[in-house]
Structure formats: C-alpha cells, structure tokens
Amino acid sequence: MGLKALDYETLNENVKKVQYAVRGELYLRASELQKEGKKIIFTNVGNPHALGQKPLTFPRQVVALCQAPFLLDDPNVGLLFPADAIARAKHYLSLTSGGLGAYSDSRGIPGVRKEVAEFIERRDGYPSDPELIFLTDGASKGVMQILNCIIRGEGDGILVPVPQYPLYSATISLLGGSLVPYYLEETANWGLDVNNLRESVAQARFKGITVRAMVIINPGNPTGQCLSEANLREIINFCYQENLVLLGDEVYQQNIYQDERPFISARKVLMDMGPPISKEVQLVSFHTVSKGYWGECGQRGGYFEMTNLPPQTVDEIYKIASIALSPNVPAQIFMGLMVNPLKPGDISYEQFVRESQGILESLRRRARIMTDGFNSCKNVVCNFTEGAMYSFPQIRLPPKAMEAAKQAGKVPDVFYCLKLLEATGISTVPGSGFGQKEGVFHLRTTILPAEEDMPAIMSSFKKFNDEFMDQYEDNWNHSRM
Amino acid sequence: MEWVTIVDPPPSTTFYAEYQNTGPGSTVDQRIKWADYRSSIPEADAGKFTVKDEQQGGWIRMYPLPGADMRRFVIGSARNLLHRSHQNSLFQRPLLSSSYRLLSSSPSADPSSSSSSTMAHPVALNNINPKVLECEYAVRGEIVTLAQKLQEEIKAKPESHPFEEILYCNIGNPQSLGQQPITFFREVLALCDHPAILDKSETQGLFSADSIERAWQILDQIPGRATGAYSHSQGVKGLRDAIAAGIEARDGFPADPNDIFLTDGASPAVHMMMQLLIRSEKDGILCPIPQYPLYSASIALHGGSLVPYYLDEATGWGLEVSELKKQLETARSKGITVRALVVINPGNPTGQLLAEENQKAIVEFCKQEGLVLLADEVYQENVYVPEKKFHSFKKVSRSMGYGEKDISLVSFQSVSKGYYGECGKRGGYMEVTGFGADVREQIYKVASVNLCSNISGQILASLVMSPPKVGDESYESYSAERDGILSSLARRAKTLEDAFNKLEGVKCNKAEGAMYLFPRIELPEKAIKAAEAAKKAPDAYYCQRLLTATGIVFVPGSGFGQVPGTWHFRCTILPQEEKIPSVVSRLTDFHKSFMDEFRGLV
C-alpha cells in the first residue's frame, strides 16, 4: 500500500488531545483483570444498574407497552400490566407521530417537552417555555451541542470547575477551545469562591482568551457538594458582570443526602434575582434520566432548557439538533415519565414510592458509610457526599510512594489506584482524571456498590490503604534513620 | 516594542485602544503596529466603560456600563506604569512607555461598528461558532417549517387551505406515515425493556415463543442483564458478535466484533469519522452531488472542505471514476489534502444501485490514492429491481483480495431504513477496517466521551442483522411483514416514477433502491424570474408553491446539490400506498397549472 489513508500522525490533533479518564487506563486494566477471572468492583462510572440497582417497575412497564403497541389491543394485556401503565402508554403513544419507530421533532416530542416545562414550573415556581426545552440522547449530547455553538476556536475559553467531570475537558478539547479552570476549595467542603473565579478570568484574558461561558456542576461531580443559594447568587452575579453564559449541569438534582442544603436550581435563583439580571443572564440547564433514583443510563435520555437565549440562536441550535434528526424516542418517554411521575391514588403509586425511596435512602446510608470509611483510613480525608453519586477522598501520599510512582512511570494517584485495583479488585478513577491542585492527590469512587457489600468493600480498602501507607512510610522512615 | 509572546500578536478577537493619555510616553508614534490597535477612541466609546476592579500592576481593568456592548477592557495609565511596571508579574517586561491602553475581547475588530444600544449576549448570532452558521440541513429546513405551520392552521381551521392534510414526502421516516413495525423485533424489545415478565406464564400467551427465547439470549449477553446500564462504549459485546455474524452471512467474508462501533443511528458515526479526519479547511472529503446533506453539514461543522464529484444523471446517476480523478486533481491543485471518499449506495437522494464492477473501480481508486472509503450503506435492504443486488464495499474489496493492510474502509448501517424503518430508535453501527491499532484506540476514546449508544437501539441493530430464520416460530409472519413492506415500496416507487415522467418538463430516473426519487424539472424562464423576485432558488420556489397549493412536501434539489442550472426535487416513496393516487393527482393538477401560469415569453 502506498499512502496510508488515516494514520495516527494525520489524525485531527484535537482528537489526540482528548483525555477521558472515566474509561481510561484504570478501567482498561480492570477489564483485563475481569477477563482473567478476578472479581472486580466497578466504582468508576455512575452506572447504578450495572451494580445491581433494579429499574423502577412502572416506567419499564409503560415503555415495554409502547414498544409493543399491539399488546394494547390484546384482551389479556391486563394479566401482565396494571391499568395505569396501560393508560400511560396510550397517552405517550398519542403524543408521538408514529410511535417509537418514527423520528420525532428534532427537539423532542412536543407533548413531552410540555411535561418537562410543567415539571420545571412546579420545581421552581416560574413558568417554563417548552419551545426552549430540547430533549437529547443523554445530557452529554446536549452539553456537546451547546459547547459546539459557543466555541469558535482556541481563543474561546470555558470556565470549568476543578475537579470536574471530564466530559467538559474532553468536549472542549474536541472542539478546539480553551478550558479555563477555577478551583473548588476542598477545605471549604468544595465551595466555590468568586474571587478565585475573577482571578481565573483575569489570567485567561491576559493570555488573549475570550471567556465565554461558565460551567457549574450542582450537586458536584466528582466532589458531591450542593451549592447554597447564596453561592448561586454570587455565581449568577459574576456571570452578569462578566457577560458569561452559565451552563448548569444539574443531572444529580434528585441525589441529595442531607437536609441542610436541598437542591436549588440555577434557574430559580436567577428568576428570584429579578430584572435586569433575570432578563439578561443566559443560562442553559441540563438534566438526564441516567441519575437520580432512576439510573436509566442505558436509555440515553436527557434535556436542556435555555433561558434568555435570543430566538435566532435557538434556531441555530435547533438546526444543529436537526442534523442528528431526533433523540431516541424510548428515552423521551422515560423523560416524560420521570418529570411526570405517578400521583397518590394511582394503582402503581405505592410500589413506585416504595422502590424510589428505597433507592434514595440506601444511597444516603451508603454515602455515610463511605465517607466514614475513608476518614478512618490512614492519610485519607474525605468530605461528606452531600449529593450526586461520588466520594472524592484526598489521599496523602508519602514521599516514598511518590518516588515509587515516578519510577513506575505513573502519576502518583494512578499508581495508588492501580495498586488498589490489583490488591482489592476495587476499580476507581484517579483524581488526576478530574483535575486537582498540584501536589494533592485524590481518587473518585461511586457510592453505588450494593449496600450489603459496602462494609466489606470499605474494610478491604482500609486494609489495603493502611498497609500501603505503612509500607511507604516505614521505608521512608528507615531510609532516614 | 514587543509584547509578551502569549498575546503577540493578539488574536483577532481582541483590540487595544488608548484614551486621553498624557505625560511622558504618551506620544503614540512608536506604538505596536497591530491591526486592531487604535491610538485614540472617541469620548462616546470610552464613556461606556468604567473601572470596577482595583489596579493590577500598572493596569486597570475596565468593564462596560449597563447599556454598553459586551466588550471587556483593560486599561493602564502612564503614571502607574512609570513607577509600577516592574511589579507587574503578568508581563515579562514593561509595556509601552506610557498610556492608557484598552484590551477588548469583542469579536469585532472595529469597536465603533457594534451596536451599543443593548448589552450583547454572550451567546448570540454574531458570536456563535461560525461553522454552526455555515451548515445547512434542507431535509428539515424552510419548507418543512412552512408545512408544520400549515398543519397547525388546518388543525385550528380545517377549511383554511385547499387540502385536508399535509403529505410529508420530505423525510425517510416510514413509521410516521403509517408503516407498521416488524412484530418480532418489537416483541423482543418490549421483553428486554421489562424483563420482570419473562418468566411469567401469562407472557407466553402474549408473546411468541421465539421472541421470549431471543430476549433471554440477548439479556444473557448484557452484563447483569441490565438494559438500564451504560454498556461498553463500542456497544454490548454479545450484540456486536451477532452483528459480525450477520455481516459474515451477508458477505461471505469474516467480520470482527471488535471492528464494530454501535451508535445512536448512523449519523453520529459519520460525525465521528469526520471529526477524526478533518484537521482544517485544507482537508477535503469527496462527496457525491447530489448528496444527503448530513455530509455537507458534518463537513461544515468540522471545518473541512467538501470536494464535490457529480453523479451522471444521464446514465442513471452513474458514478464515474474518471470524474473522481478529475475532482481529486482539481482539489489537490488548490492545496487541499483529500482524505476520504463518501459513497452512498444505494443512493440518497438519487436511488441508484452501484454495479459490482463500478464498486471495484472505486475500491481500486481509494487504494491507489490513499483515501478512506466511507461507505453509507444504510439502504442495503431497500432494493427494488430484481436484476440488481446490493454488494457491500467490504465484500467487494475482500473479493478483490484486499484486506486490512490494503484499504481503510468504514461501512455505516442503521435501523432507521430497510424494511424495518425504526427511525425513532436511533440504532446503527459502523464497521471500521483497515486502520492501525493506534487510530482505533482514538476512535474508541471519542466514542467513550459519549459513554455509549442507547441499549434499545443496540438490541435492534443486532436483531436486524440476525432476523428470524426458516423454521423459527415467527419466521413466517416476519417474512410476510418484510416482503409486504418491500414489495409495496417497489410498487410505490414505480407509480411515482411513472407519474413524474408524465409531467411536462420532468424527467425521473428509476429508483433502484433507497427510499427516494429525484426527478429533474425544466422550469420555464418566467418561473425562474418569479423565483428570483421571491428571492428563492427556482426549485425551492416550485416546492413552496406545490406545498401551499396541495399540501405535498418535497425537498428542493438545491438542498442536496445539483449540476448548476439544473433543478430537481426529492420525493420519498413512503406515503402509504392508498395515498399515492392522491399524491399523483394533486401533483399532476398543480404541475399543469404551474406550467400554464409561467408559459410563454418573459
């Protein structure tokens, strides 16, 4: 063969730059070990059903009926499906034009978008316009579409929290933009300091970067904190002063494990602030069916809602959505079911509440077990998981361990996580995949392993960690003697 | 005078200006020579800004007052600079010897040109990604928006238009026009969505036995039987095994499940390949004209160059390798690196099916020229002529003896087309062969950023590549449903083709495959003038007149590209068979009156 059509050298450089640690080196090694027959506890991805969480029954009944609408005509359908599931399936089929097998409007089924708007209105106390809600194949696709519209080149910067969910860094790399980091303050429970933000923006501007947008993840991923209302106000004020569009990743809004700081949406705070801010600050909020007590990751369902975007811009975003034709229709039904759940009195209501509360309460207990477990370990400190699905402990590595990592050609936290994986089968993601302050190391685990397995997992972690620390501290101490 | 390297020269999004400087160094004759530097700005412009931050080094950052535009300024004063410049850690050396200087991040190089009446939004038409503005997607463009508007008007007031319903012939979306899904596929999907009923005895009364069995098989291939979990980013391994087996059965050559990437429909797979291939506007992709606008849109979005090659309408939309060579040379002479060739087979919007000999010549061409062959084969099951057969490019290249080392080939397949037409499921895959392991890793990485494609679509993709077989309980009903749909599509294609060819000035090639007809229409001079007056392309004008008169939605040929000076429209063959006569008669009447209206000299 003469010329190679596409080799590594001639790949788009932006593609090569992308890093995506959630499925990176640790995950690949874990998959290898699993193939070798070792038992692996995957805590690298927020993927609850993969770890045994059962789907909620009612939505699965409804979607199954929508998949097989001929069942609705069968006199025996009532033997397998409750009447409210049958009614709901008919309702959603009537909102589609051609059932689950037809492309929908590129923005999503109008009737489902209306249900989303009603949900937002109930949640925030302010009306929402279905025309400004676009359904997507998971929230990630929505984030990509919006960033694609914003980023023109490397001169455009996006403020992203560090630590962050690597979707943002990866997408910004792919689109050839510049990530402008702002650091969350670990000692203040991963709080967000506006002075810090100003500093980040000033530095970026001196580099000639036009800062265009700011990402917040609330509740935080991987950091698990819930933003306070006061903090959200400061952020919105900042966006107003700096003329930034605010991208609110709110996919964990159902996952709250404490009562002091309930979830409050950026949109509600924005509206509460009144004009001119409520009329000026542009906001795009993201949500998904993959998280919450639903955890329906495999469906790839999500939406974004736009506030204060001018109509011509919305049209352009619509055009980009239309090139992908439409989001998948079954997931749109899941979204409708999520935002418009059963009500007291419905036949399936009690079962639905039992299932969903069972999941949330267990997650709350698991968040506690995990935080306490980490904090009982040598050289490990961990903030409480107020929300989301992750624990993000700091691992204070002794100098000898850093030295050993260097010799192994690994970043120190990668080195630690690989050792942890080999010793215990626990597959985590090193903090370096999310970004962290220099010289400080973390790992991320989900809080999703089954509750009954949790004590054993934490004790095997502790055993590994404390031995690891002893080994490297002892050596270090010996060498100094 | 030199600036620090990171801002020298500044990006075109930045401009610098001075305002009323005095003192030593305030003369401007030795200033930097940047295009976006202005030695003074009028009071009116400067008045829109105020100091909000404390000074930083010798610099004061300035912000717009409410009502000013979105620019951001940094301003430094001569006095401060003279005694504080050494403290300024952000710059490697003192800047100019004096003066206010303004740093802006406005997208406009000229500060006076942008409107100052309202505060510009951070995301607005004037500052969104220009590549987004550039791309066009006619299948859902202006005509469709108008159709939706008319539909709402009819719903509100049934008598408001001279027709009772909109007949959508614009998009290959069969189930929206009444095509029924294949029962077996849907049984399996329903069971996989709600596995809790699989072992109930009542289920056997409602579902076929082989659908239950298949659902078990599929669930057993999914780790934890969890259809609600993210899968491997390439798709569930067991489903890829089934697809690879299906490809092997189709082609007679082996397929490797590790070469398969399941995606949410074929479109994201096309985007992914464009993303990998296109580095700048210097990279070109050879695309057929007429083409399915996914390609032009995707190339525009990724900032590449579309290198057109024309299909020959006179030979039934033939694809000539001599034309490919000619266009390749032309592009190369313009400094464009052509990286890939897109072939749509069967053709969209043109409906032709490539002959095997033709495909061999195309494969040889790609091999010789070092091009990636992007084979859009989503209509592989939609073939309406008994004398021709679909051959995949994989099969053709392997039958020529070309393997992994000889040709880089990507084949796209979708659950949206074929006899199944399951558009709403967003299922599809690409089979990627002939790339190095390092490139494959990069494809996997890009796929992993989006986590995975939807599981229901993945299951369906495996089902369409491994449908029921002779002897299975559902085989007879399955094959009856399949053959019923395909033969009806063939009849509809023929009826519409004949009807088009009877219209004055219209000539239509046969739809050998796919779901479309793409007739050529000779428009009278007067009609072209009328279109000009309405500021529309002539074919768009015709389609708009047709829609408002009859409710029929066609897509103008200009949305797909055509030989300059020729006009076409695309019509799907998907309206239900009983509606075809009504399409034909409405179209025939309209066409006659349209031609009568514009007959004669200009």
Residue B191: its chain A contacts at CB < 8 A? Answer: 64
Quick one: DSSP state of residue B448? H
Q: Does the distance separating the beta carbons of A5 and B370 come in below 8 Å? A: yes
Residue B109 has pLDDT above 60, yes or no: no
Widest distance between CA atoms in chain A = 84
In the numeric block, which tokens belong to residue B426?
């967003």
pLDDT for the residue numbered B141? 74
Average pLDDT over residues B460-469: 97
Quick one: DSSP state of residue B197? G
Å between B124 CA and nearest CA of chain A: 6
Q: Which of B123, B189, B275 sits opposite A67 (nearest CB)?
A: B189
Residue A16: its chain B contacts at CB < 8 A? Answer: 442
Q: In what order do the strands lie in the sheet with A133-136?
A: A133-136, A302-307, A283-288, A245-249, A210-217, A156-162, A178-183
Interface ipTM: 0.93
Å between A194 CA and nearest CA of chain B: 14
- Round to whole Å and give the CA distance between B95 and B501: 74
* 3-class DSSP string for B208-261: CHHHHHHHHHHHHHCHHHCCCCCCCCCCCHHHHHHHHHHHHHHHCCCCCHHHEE
What whole-number percentage of chain A has pLDDT above 90?
86
Residue B575: its chain A contacts at CB < 8 A? Answer: none
Chain B CB within 8 Å of residue A171 CB? yes
End-to-end CA distance of chain A: 63
- Round to whole Å and give the CA distance between A477 and B8: 51
Backbone angles phi, psi at B338, to 5 degrees: -80, 125
pLDDT in tens, A89-105: 999 999 998 999 999 99
DSSP for B347-398 reads -TTT-----HHHHHHHHHHHHHHT-EEEEE-TTTT-B--TT-----HHHHHH
Q: Does the distance separating the beta carbons of A244 and B439 come in below 8 Å? A: no
Greater confidence (B275 vs A4) lies with B275
State the pLDDT confidence band at B112, using cuts at 50, 70 and 90: very low
B375 bridge partner residues: B343, B411
Calculate the average pLDDT of chain A: 93
What whole-number percentage of chain A has pLDDT above 70?
97
Å between B598 CA and nearest CA of chain A: 34
Position of tokens 């079962």?
A351
In the numeric block, which tokens belong to residue B351?
């409906």
Residue A207: its chain B contacts at CB < 8 A? Answer: 6-7
Residue B485: its chain A contacts at CB < 8 A? Answer: none
Q: How many CB atoms lie within 10 A of CB A353?
A: 13
DSSP for B135-150 reads ---GGGSHHHHHHHHH
pLDDT in tens, A242-283: 999 999 999 999 999 999 999 999 999 999 999 999 999 999
pLDDT for the residue numbered B286? 97
Å between A472 CA and nearest CA of chain B: 34
Q: Does the distance separating the beta carbons of A144 and B450 come in below 8 Å? A: yes
Pick among B450, B572, B574 to test the A interface (most A CBs inside 10 A)? B450
Residue B105: its chain A contacts at CB < 8 A? Answer: 205, 210-211
- Round to whole Å and give the CA distance between B265 and B552: 27
Q: Does the distance separating the beta carbons of A331 and B446 come in below 8 Å? A: no
pLDDT in tens, B563-595: 999 999 999 999 999 999 999 999 999 999 999
Nearest Cα neighbor of B63 from A314, A198, A64 is A198
Residue A48: its chain B contacts at CB < 8 A? Answer: 228-229
Using only C-alpha atoms, chain B has a radius of gyration, in whole angstroms, of 30
Average the pLDDT over each of A384-388, B63-67, B540-544 and give the range with the smallest value: B63-67
pLDDT in tens, B293-348: 999 999 999 999 999 999 999 999 999 999 999 999 999 999 999 999 999 999 99
Nearest Cα neighbor of A226 from A261, A257, A260, A198 is A261
Å between B346 CA and nearest CA of chain A: 20
pLDDT in tens, B217-262: 999 999 889 999 999 999 999 999 999 999 999 999 999 999 999 9
Residue B24 has pLDDT above 90, yes or no: no
Nearest Cα neighbor of B32 from B14, B8, B13 is B8
Nearest Cα neighbor of B276 from B244, B297, B298 is B298
Residue A14: its chain B contacts at CB < 8 A? Answer: 275
Determine contact, residues B459/B430, Cβ cutoff 8 Å: no
Contact partners, residue B283, CB within 8 Å, separation at least 6? B277, B304, B305, B336, B337, B338, B339
Q: Does the distance separating the beta carbons of B173 and A102 come in below 8 Å? A: yes
* Residue B487, helix vs strand vs coil: helix
- Round to whole Å and give the CA distance between A417 and A414: 5
pLDDT in tens, B159-217: 999 999 999 999 899 999 999 999 999 999 999 999 999 999 999 999 999 999 999 99
Chain B CB within 8 Å of residue A52 CB? yes
Å between B275 CA and nearest CA of chain A: 7
Contact partners, residue B446, CB within 8 Å, separation at least 6? A15, A18, A174, B272, B275, B276
Residue B73 has pLDDT above 70, yes or no: no
Chain B CB within 8 Å of residue A128 CB? no
In A79-163, which residue ranges form alpha helices assigned H by DSSP? 83-95, 110-124, 138-150
